[in-house]
Amino acid sequence: MNAPLRHPLVTKPDFDVAIIGTGFSGLGMAIQMKKAGLDDFVVLEKAETVGGTWRDNHYPGCACDVQSHLYSFSFEQNPNWSRMYSPQPEIRAYLEKCATKYGVLPHIRFGVQLTGAAFDEAAGLWRITTRTGEVVTARAVISGMGGLSIPAYPNIKGRETFQGETFHSQNWNHSYDLAGKTVAVIGTGASAIQFVPQIAPKVAELKLFQRTAPWVMPKPDRAIGGFERALNNYVPGFQRAFREAIYWFLEMRVLGFAYKPKLMEKVQHMALRYIGKQIKDPVLRAKVTPDYTIGCKRVLISNDYYPALTRENVDVITTGIREITPSGVITDDGVEHKVDCIIYGTGFKATDMLSGLPITGMGGEDLNSRWKQTGAQAYLGTAVTGFPNMYFLMGPNTGLGHSSMVYMIESQIAYVVDALKLMRREGYNHIDVKPQVQAEYNQRLAGKLDGTVWNNGGCVSWYRDDQGRNVTLWPDFTFRFRRQTARVNPTDYVATPVTVVAANRN
């Protein structure tokens, strides 16, 4: 039973809490709210089903590149994963099952797309506007919109003039038959290296436009057999121990990325040997050998990417793209590559975290404008000064170059639940992180990031914004993030009691 608020609110919002999105963040948040007995919440979802990025990305070969046992909620282990690295349909089904099992579905309003959110200081609540013109009010807003949800298209001259079929990896057109077609793929990131091996055997010709070669390591993937699944199902602690082992193995990568660059030299040597083993043609090998320190961009894992590049019908083109024409792609050397289809594997607007969504806080300040100036900054990647009761799951500097995002998301969720409980316990209407606390935290982060491969590895990556500020990555062990987010320190926040808000209204 919830403790009642000590003071009745003058303006009762529609909901105590509004959660945005139904990926791992939004669903995980909703589940923990229910577990904590904080039942007065709504989940707003733009689509018609749950799943977030695992609903939206469904290109051929789409799978997770973090092991299934770790890429799942700690409280809901799935003993029946079919592979060490789950394919997208299984992760999506897992999230759907979680939503049903934990009774979250009745809280979700599907087909509701946000157009903005503004904090009403006098009423002490957030007004969320939606595409249909409806306004939803809530005391707290929790964004689970994800860091990689808005596709990025390259700014290439003539892109709109192309007359053939064209789509982004996130909006794969499955009804377009690629068989027998000449296809251009632009980009060689995590998405492209998964779908290129799938489509290469089908198409007549595949022209892969590579601007920067990725580092690719072998993927220790395998089917999980019946015996192992039985152990997961029936031997208490077996799967959890496996999960722990994976967790600590991945955590050790931080040593190389952030603390001991010498370690990475060994890993880089292994990766070079892998290229050598997979690609015999010296010209192709030179093309796909990266020219920056391993780890600077996300290290990719694949067993079928390099073999796909060695196919007769695949051409890796490293000359820059000058222009796109109605019939194809012209490279900087003036060669025109005529194609039937262009597929963009060009990633997401990762550093533009709000993607232009207007969010207005205290004193009418717009968060987009602030973050354009300062770079995306928050306290513990979660709370932003001047934007009380608003929390960002997967907010600034919570991304990982080495392990499972679900671990970070669960840490943030625990923190937000603690904040909501604190407000209830103390009779606060809203809390706002102190500017000094946020500034000092970000100074410490910047110091940590300074020495890492992500900032010093000699590459350009989506980890950093257009001014070179690393606004996406957590530069440390994830258990340290968990420790820092374990409890809300009330002295980090300025709290406004319900009575003050009530007085404002009178």
Pick between residue 112 and residue 185 the one whose CB is nearest to ligand N01. Answer: 185
Among 347, 361, 396, 457, binds ligand N01 (CB under 6 A): 347
- 61 scored as a contact of ligand N01 (CB under 6 A): no
Amino acid at 267: V
- 196 scored as a contact of ligand N01 (CB under 6 A): no
Among 33, 108, 206, 321, binds ligand N01 (CB under 6 A): 321
> Residue 266: how many CA atoms within 13 Å on its side-chain side?
7
- The answer for residues whose C-beta is within 8 angstroms of residue 49's C-beta and 6 or more apart is 55, 96, 110
Pick between residue 53 and residue 429 the one whose CB is nearest to ligand N01. Answer: 53
Among 60, 87, 116, 154, binds ligand N01 (CB under 6 A): 154
Q: Which of residues 160-179 bind ligand N01 (CB under 6 A)?
A: 169
- 51 scored as a contact of ligand N01 (CB under 6 A): no
- 250 scored as a contact of ligand N01 (CB under 6 A): no
Main-chain phi, psi angles of 237, to 5 degrees: 85, -10
Pick between residue 185 and residue 498 the one whose CB is nearest to ligand N01. Answer: 185
Q: CA-to-CA distance for 17 and 33, rounded, in angstroms? A: 10
DSSP-assigned beta bridge partners for residue 241 = none
CA end-to-end span of the chain, whole Å? 31
- 288 scored as a contact of ligand N01 (CB under 6 A): no
Among 17, 42, 64, 413, binds ligand N01 (CB under 6 A): 64
- Pairing state between β 493-497 and 182-186: unpaired
Amino acid at 140: A
Pick between residue 192 and residue 380 the one whose CB is nearest to ligand N01. Answer: 192
- 149 scored as a contact of ligand N01 (CB under 6 A): no
- 462 scored as a contact of ligand N01 (CB under 6 A): yes
- Pairing state between β 41-45 and 15-20: parallel
- 339 scored as a contact of ligand N01 (CB under 6 A): no
Enter the tokens of residue 117: 């959110």
Gyration radius from the chain CA atoms: 24
Pick between residue 142 and residue 406 the one whose CB is nearest to ligand N01. Answer: 406
Q: CA-to-CA distance for 191 and 151, rounded, in angstroms? A: 12
Among 124, 144, 290, 345, binds ligand N01 (CB under 6 A): 345
Q: Hey, what's the torsion of the CAs at 390, 479, 148, 377, to 10 degrees?
A: 50
Tell me which stretch binds ligand N01 (CB under 6 A): 114-122, 159-167, 189-197, 407-415: 189-197
Name the 3-class secondary structure at 265: helix
Pick between residue 117 and residue 192 the one whose CB is nearest to ligand N01. Answer: 192
How far apart are CB 65 and ligand N01 at their closest, in Å? 3
- 189 scored as a contact of ligand N01 (CB under 6 A): yes
Element (H, E) at 372: helix 367-374
- 60 scored as a contact of ligand N01 (CB under 6 A): no
Shortest-Cβ-distance residue relative to ligand N01? 189
Among 46, 211, 322, 482, binds ligand N01 (CB under 6 A): 211
Residue spans of alpha helices (H) in 297-404: 305-309, 367-374
- 50 scored as a contact of ligand N01 (CB under 6 A): no
Is residue 22 within 8 A of residue 409, CB to CB? The reply is: no
Among 148, 216, 258, 316, binds ligand N01 (CB under 6 A): 148
Main-chain phi, psi angles of 338, to 5 degrees: -75, 130
- 156 scored as a contact of ligand N01 (CB under 6 A): yes
Q: CA-to-CA distance for 145 and 22, rounded, in angstroms? A: 8
Contact residues for ligand N01, defined by CB under 6 A: 64-65, 148, 154, 156, 169, 186-192, 209, 211-212, 298, 321, 345-348, 460, 462
